[in-house]
Structure 1
Amino acid sequence: MKKRVTLTFPRRAIQVPVTYRLAKDFNVAANIIRAQVAPNQVGTLVVELSGDIDQLDAAVDWMRSQNINVSSAMAEITIDRELCVDCGLCTGVCPTEALTLNSATFELAFTRSRCIVCEQCIPTCPTQAISTNL
């Protein structure tokens, strides 16, 4: 089973080797989608956890016992076609090629199944046509 979650670390828990402990103690793989972690600051990690449902639940319980806030990451990228001018700037920063320009029409194409919601495209869009939808 897979579960996408957002982990928010308090300052004192930033040194906890979370992904190592998830793999070693719970047999849960953690695919890091986005990370914003720095010493002596609150950290945020968006991860996709993979493993047995019971192991995932145990891993989430352990993270919460470490004072790590665990919440479901259900955000999706949305594109406002009214605002989009098909400039293609977002395609240059998309790490999974979920955003591409159609070579025949030069219109922006979005493949939702490839999107990891890294949000790199949002600040790149000059018309603010790209956002997240919770």
Structure 2
Amino acid sequence: MKKRVILTFPPQVVHMPLTYRLAKDFNVAGNILRAQVAPDEVGKMVVEVSGRIDQVEDALSWVQAQGITVSLMTSEILIDWDRCVHCGLCTGVCPTQALTLDPQTFQLQFQRSKCIVCEQCVPTCPVEAIHTGL
């Protein structure tokens, strides 16, 4: 089972070795997709956790017991193909290359399976063809 979650850390727990504890104590893999964590500040991290369903649920319950807020990531990137002008600006900010231009047709291509919903493409689109949906 895989789940993408947003973890919000209070300042007093940003030092915790979270992915290590998930792996060691719960046999759950934690793939950090995006993080903004600094000492003495509220931190946010987008993590894809994977493992057996019971292990993932136990791990997320433990995370919450540590004072970390867990929110399921339910949004996705949507593209309005009628508005898109295939300029390619979004491809330059996409960290996973989910957005690319076809070298033959110069048409934008979107591979949803590579997208980590970092939303960097949203403000980059000059015609507002890219947005998040629930």
Relative to the length of structure 2, the TM-score reads 0.92
Q: Which moved more, 1:41-50 or 1:118-127?
A: 118-127
In 2, Cα distance between equivalents of 1:9 and 1:131: 26
Write the distance in 1 (CA, Å) between the matches of 2:130 and 2:41: 28
Shift of 1:126: 2.2
1:109 — aligned with what? 109
What TM-score do the two structures reach when normalised by structure 1?
0.92
- Structure 2 distance, partners of 1:69, 1:115, is 23
Which runs of at least 4 in structure 1 moved beyond 3 Å after TM superposition?
none
Kindly report the root-mean-square deviation, in angstroms, between the aligned alpha carbons of the 2 structures: 1.4
Unpaired runs of 5+ in structure 1?
none
**Quick check: 1:19 aligned with 2:14?**
no
Counterpart amino acid of residue 53 in structure 2: I
Partner of 2:65: 65
- In 2, the alpha carbon distance for the partners of 1:15 and 1:83 equals 44
Query: Aligned-pair distance for 1:130?
Result: 1.4
Q: Tell me whether 13-22 or 96-105 shows the greater mean CA deviation.
A: 96-105
Percent sequence identity over aligned pairs: 64
Match of 2:87 in 1: 87
Aligned residues: 134
Higher deviation after alignment, 58-67 or 91-100: 91-100
Report what 1:36 is aligned to. Answer: 36
Q: Distance in 1 between matches of 2:31 and 2:129?
A: 28
Q: Distance in 1 between matches of 2:131 and 2:106?
A: 21
Unaligned ranges ≥5, structure 2? none
Q: Deviations over 1:81-126 (max 9, x none)?
A: 2332211011122222211112333221111122121222123222
Give the whole-Å Cα distance in 2 for the aligned partners of 1:6 and 1:43: 10
Spell out, residue by residue over 1:33-59, the C-alpha distance to the aligned partner (whole angstroms, 9 max, x if none).
111112222111111001111111110
3-state SS of the aligned residue for 1:67? coil
